[in-house]
C-alpha cells in the first residue's frame, strides 16, 4: 500500500527546498514544476558553492544532462550523503557516449542515490545491460511492454536491491522498485514525449517529494511518477478539447501539477504492486 | 511625484537595447519581458566580448544568478560606467554562500550601479546587515511588513544614500529609495513567488526602463516595479477566472506587460512617497 | 517548383534526430519546435562528446549564440562533414563583435554548411559586406525591402554560389538561394520579432527538415522558412482574437507547427521563384 494522499499532503506542507544541478535545456521547467508541487527550487551548480548550498536544502537532484557539471554533482552528492539528505539521479543519455558512461559510473561509485530515474535504455546502461540508446530518447528495443514486463520487473528489482537505491524506469509503463516492492504505473500519455523535459521534470518532482518524505524515497518516487502521469492525462484531455499543441501541453502539464488534488490523484492512478 | 506615464511612453518610444548577463534558469523569460515592454534584449555574456557588446546598448543588467559570469559582469559594468550607461544589479542569493558574498562585495567595489534590486534578505546582506537567506528566496525573518515598514524605509534610504544607488527591495510591499525619496508600492500578489523568475524579470524590466530613462534611474525602478506588480495582479485575476496554474500565470504575466497601457498602470498603482 | 508537401510528409515520417549546439536563451524553444515538427532533439554540446554524439543524428545545427561552444561546433561540424550529414549554421550577431567575426570566419573555414540562416546584417557580415548590426537584431539599413529586393537576391545568390551553401536571409521578405534558384517568401508577421528565438527556432526547424531531406537542403530551408512564416501568421491571428501578448504568441507559434497540415502550408505560402 502506497500512502499517496499523505505524500501529496506532505509536499504542500513541507514546501521542501530542492537543489537541482541540471541542464540548461529544461532548467526553467524543472524549477517551475517544483514550485507547482509546492516546493522551492535552487539551481545553484557552481563547483565552488554546491557543497555549501546543499546544507540548506531538503533534497538534491543531479541531472546528467548537465554533463559539464559532473564534478559539481559528485561534490554536492557526497556532501548530501554526509548530511543524510536524499539525492536523486537522472542519468540522461547515460549510454549514449563514452563521456556519459564514464560520468554515470563515477557518480554511482562516489555518491549514494536515494532514487535513480531514467528511461529503460538509460537504466539498462547503468545496470550493465546492453542499451541501444539514441540521443536522449529510449530506443525501441529497450521499451518495456506487456510482453517483457515480468522480466523487466525482475531486472529492475534486482538492480535496485544490488545498489540499495529506488530505481524508477519511465515509459509507457513505469516500473519502480526498492529491491523488495515493485510498482507498475499505467498513467501518462504519448504526448509527454513530444515535449522536451518530461523526464527531467519528473526527476525534479521526485526530488521535491523526497525532500518532503526524506525517510521514504520509494513512496516519493511512486507518488511523483503517478502524479506526473495523471497530470499528463489531464493536460492531454485539455489539448484534445482545445486543439492546441505541444507547447500548450507543457504549460497545461505544469498547471495540472499546480492544481492537482489528492482526490484527482487517487481517482486517476492506475497501478499494481508486486511484492518481491 | 513619479512620472509613470512618461516612463511608459518612453520605453515604447526609445525601444532600448538591454544587455543582460543573467542566469540560465530564467534567461528566456528575461529576454521576453524586455521585448514585451518594448525593448530589445542582448544576452551576450562571454568575457571576451562583453566590453565591446556594452558599447552598443542602452543599459546593462548583471544578475548574480549567473555567478560563474562574475568576471564578465565586472568587465562589462566598468565599461558601462566609463560610457555613462546605467547598470542594474540583481544580487541573487547574495547572502547564501561565501562565493556569493565575495562576488557581491567585489561587484559593489568595482562597479557603480544605478539600481540594485533584490528581496529583503539579499539587500540586507549587501547592506552588511544580518540576513538569513535560504536559497534564492527571502527568509521569513527578513520580510518587510506593516510592523517593521518605517524602520525598513529608513534602512533602505540610508543604504541608497551611502552607496549613491537606487535600492529596490521587492516583497509584499516594495520599498524603493534613491537616498532622498522613498516609494512604497503595494501591488503584486503571492502567485509571483510561485513561478521562477519574477525577481529576475523585474530586474530586467528595470534595466529596460533605465535604458529608456538614463538620467532617472529612480523613476525607472519605481515604474518597472509598479508595472510588474500591476501586471501580476492582472495575470492573477486571469488565473482565478480560468482555473489555470503557475505556468499559465507566467505566460499571462509577460502578456500583461506586453499589453499594459498607461491608463491600466495609473489606475492600478497603489503607492506612497516618503520624502527623505 | 518546391516539393513542400513531400517535405512536410518527410519530416513526420523520418522523425529526424537533430543535434543542436545552441544558446541557453532559446534552447528550450528550439528543442520544442523540433519536437513540434515531428523530429527529436539532442542538445549535446560538450566538447568531449560532440563528435561521438553527431554519429547518431540526422543533422547538426550550430548556433553562434552559444559563442563559447565555437570549438565544439568546429569539431562536431567537421565530423558531420566526414559522415556526409547536413550542418546548418545560425550566425547570431555575426558582425556584432570581433569575437563573433573571428568565430564566424573560423566556422566558415573549417566546416562546410548545407544551410546558413540569419538576418540580413548577419549574412552581409559573413559575405564580407558592410553590416551595421546592433546586438542580435537586424539593423535598419540592412533590411531587405521591395526597393532593394532585386539587388539583394543577386547578392544572396552570388554568396550561395561562392560558398556552395544554401543561404537563407530572414526578414519581412525571406530570401533563400542555392546559388542557382532563389525563392522569396512573403509570410510571417512583425510579432515574430517581439519574442526571443524566432530566428533560432527557424534555424532548428531547418535542421530538422535537412535531417529528413539530407539530399535537398534547398527544399529543406525553403519549406522550414515557409512553415515558420505561415505558423507565425496563424499565431498572430490567434493573438488578435484572444487579445494576448508575446508570451502566448510564442506558445501558439510552436503549437501551430505541431498542428500544421500540408494543406494549411500550401494554402498559406506566398512565394516566388527566381531562376539563376
Interface check C252 vs A, CB under 8 A: yes
Residue with cell 542515490: A113
- What's the DSSP call for residue B70? H
Per-residue pLDDT band for B138 (boundaries 50, 70, 90) equals: very low
* Residue to substitute from C18, C20, C42, C44, interface A, most A β-carbons within 10 A: C44
ipTM above 0.90 for this complex: yes
From CA A36, how far away is CA B5, in angstroms rounded? 35
Please check whether residue C198 is in contact with residue C224, taking contact to mean a CB–CB distance below 8 angstroms. no
Contacts of A48 in chain B (CB under 8 A): 99
Interface check A69 vs B, CB under 8 A: no
**Closest Cα of chain A to C9: distance in Å?**
18
- Closest C-alpha to A27, from C43, B46, C64, C92: C43
Burial tier of C246 (Cβ tally within 10 Å: 0-12, 13-18, 19+): buried
- Closest C-alpha to C126, from C165, C184, C76, C171: C165
Residue with cell 552528492: A77
**Per the structure block, which three cell numbers stand in for B14?**
526609445
Contacts of C28 in chain B (CB under 8 A): 28
Contacts of B134 in chain A (CB under 8 A): 17, 56
What pLDDT was estimated at residue C71? 98
Half-sphere exposure of C104 (CA within 13 A, CB side): 23
Contacts of C137 in chain B (CB under 8 A): 40
Contacts of C251 in chain A (CB under 8 A): 247-248, 251
Three-state DSSP class for residue B26: coil
- Closest C-alpha to C20, from C163, C177, C210: C210
From CA A52, how far away is CA A91, in angstroms rounded? 24
Interface check A60 vs B, CB under 8 A: no
The verdict on a CB contact (< 8 Å) between A96 and C24 is no
Three-state DSSP class for residue B233: helix
For A42-53, the pLDDT digits (tens) are 999 999 999 999
What pLDDT was estimated at residue A120? 93
Q: What number of other Cβ atoms are within 10 A of residue B273's Cβ? A: 11
From CA A231, how far away is CA A256, in angstroms rounded? 5
State phi, psi for B115 to the nearest 5 degrees: -140, 140
Query: For every one of its 276 residues, what pLDDT tens digit does chain C have, with 9 covering 90 and above?
Result: 899 999 999 999 999 999 999 999 999 999 999 999 999 999 999 999 999 999 999 999 999 999 999 999 999 999 999 999 999 999 999 999 999 999 999 999 999 999 999 999 999 999 985 444 444 444 445 778 888 899 899 999 999 999 999 999 999 999 999 999 999 999 999 999 999 999 999 999 999 999 999 999 999 999 999 999 999 999 999 999 999 999 999 999 999 999 999 999 999 999 999 986
Q: How many CB pairs under 8 A join A and B?
A: 88
DSSP state string for C86-120: -EEEE-TTTTTSHHHHHHHHHHHHH---SEEEEEH
Q: Determine the Cα angle at A55 with ends A50 and A61, to 5°.
A: 60
From CA C161, how far away is CA C246, in angstroms rounded? 37
Q: How far is residue B151 CA from its own chain's centroid?
A: 22
Please check whether residue B195 is in contact with residue B29, taking contact to mean a CB–CB distance below 8 angstroms. no
Per-residue pLDDT band for B134 (boundaries 50, 70, 90) equals: very low
Ligand-binding annotation for C73, yes or no, is no
For B245-266, the pLDDT digits (tens) are 999 999 999 999 999 999 999 9
**Closest Cα of chain A to C20: distance in Å?**
11
Window C:128-157, CB contacts with B under 8 Å: 134-137
**Per the structure block, which three cell numbers stand in for A185?**
504505473
**Per the structure block, which three cell numbers stand in for C60?**
547538426
- Closest C-alpha to A40, from B29, B235, B102, B96: B96
Contacts of B67 in chain A (CB under 8 A): 44, 46, 49
Greatest alpha-carbon pair distance for chain B in Å reads: 50
Please check whether residue A217 is in contact with residue A166, taking contact to mean a CB–CB distance below 8 angstroms. yes
Neighbors of chain A by Cβ distance (3+ pairs < 8 Å): B, C
Q: How many CB pairs under 8 A join A and C?
A: 88
Q: Which residues contact B245 (CB under 8 A, 6 or more apart)?
A: A36, A254, A255, A256, A257, A258, A259, B239
For A102-131, the pLDDT digits (tens) are 999 999 999 999 999 999 999 999 998 544
From CA B141, how far away is CA B119, in angstroms rounded? 12
Name the β-bridge partners of A87: A60
Please check whether residue A45 is in contact with residue A66, taking contact to mean a CB–CB distance below 8 angstroms. yes
Interface check B27 vs C, CB under 8 A: yes
DSSP state string for A209-232: HHHH-TT-HHHHHHHHHHHHHHHH
**Per the structure block, which three cell numbers stand in for B138?**
527571502
User: Mind listing the domains of chain B with CATH numbers?
Assistant: 4-274 (3.40.1190.20)
What pLDDT was estimated at residue C129? 52
Beta strands in chain C (DSSP E): 17-21, 40-42, 59-63, 87-90, 115-119, 166-170, 174-177, 181-185, 271-275
Q: Determine the Cα angle at B273 with ends B267 and B276, to 5°.
A: 165
From CA C30, how far away is CA B87, in angstroms rounded? 30
Interface check C61 vs A, CB under 8 A: no
From CA A168, how far away is CA C89, in angstroms rounded? 38
- Closest C-alpha to A249, from A233, A263, A225, A226: A233
Q: How far is CA A41 from CA A18, A58, A75, A250, B137, in A?
A: 5, 10, 19, 19, 9
Amino acid at each position: 500500500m502506497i500512502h499517496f494522499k499523505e505524500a501529496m499532503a506532505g509536499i504542500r506542507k513541507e514546501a521542501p527546498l530542492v537543489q537541482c544541478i541540471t541542464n540548461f535545456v529544461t532548467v526553467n521547467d524543472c524549477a517551475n514544476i517544483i514550485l507547482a508541487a509546492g516546493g522551492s527550487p535552487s539551481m545553484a551548480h557552481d563547483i565552488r558553492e554546491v557543497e555549501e548550498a546543499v546544507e540548506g536544502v531538503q533534497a538534491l537532484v543531479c541531472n546528467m544532462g548537465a554533463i559539464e557539471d559532473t564534478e559539481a554533482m559528485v561534490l554536492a552528492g557526497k556532501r548530501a550523503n554526509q548530511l543524510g539528505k536524499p539525492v536523486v539521479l537522472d542519468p540522461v543519455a547515460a549510454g549514449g557516449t563514452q563521456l556519459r558512461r564514464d560520468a554515470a559510473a563515477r557518480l554511482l561509485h562516489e555518491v549514494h542515490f536515494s532514487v535513480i530515474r531514467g528511461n529503460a535504455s538509460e537504466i539498462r546502461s547503468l545496470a550493465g545491460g546492453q542499451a541501444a540508446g539514441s540521443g536522449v530518447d529510449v530506443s525501441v528495443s529497450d521499451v518495456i511492454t506487456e510482453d517483457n514486463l515480468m522480466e523487466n520487473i525482475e531486472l529492475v528489482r534486482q538492480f535496485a536491491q544490488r545498489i540499495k537505491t529506488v530505481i524508477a524506469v519511465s515509459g509507457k509503463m513505469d516500473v519502480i522498485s526498492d529491491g523488495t516492492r515493485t510498482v507498475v504505473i499505467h498513467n501518462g500519455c504519448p504526448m509527454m514525449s513530444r515535449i522536451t523535459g518530461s523526464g527531467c521534470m519528473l526527476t525534479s518532482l521526485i526530488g521535491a517529494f523526497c525532500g518532503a518524505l526524506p525517510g521514504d524515497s520509494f513512496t516519493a518516487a511512486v507518488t511523483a511518477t503517478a502524479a506526473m502521469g495523471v497530470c499528463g492525462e489531464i493536460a492531454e484531455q485539455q489539448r484534445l478539447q482545445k486543439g492546441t499543441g505541444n507547447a500548450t501541453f507543457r504549460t497545461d502539464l505544469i498547471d495540472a501539477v499546480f492544481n492537482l488534488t489528492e482526490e484527482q490523484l487517487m481517482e486517476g492512478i492506475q497501478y499494481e504492486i508486486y511484492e518481491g
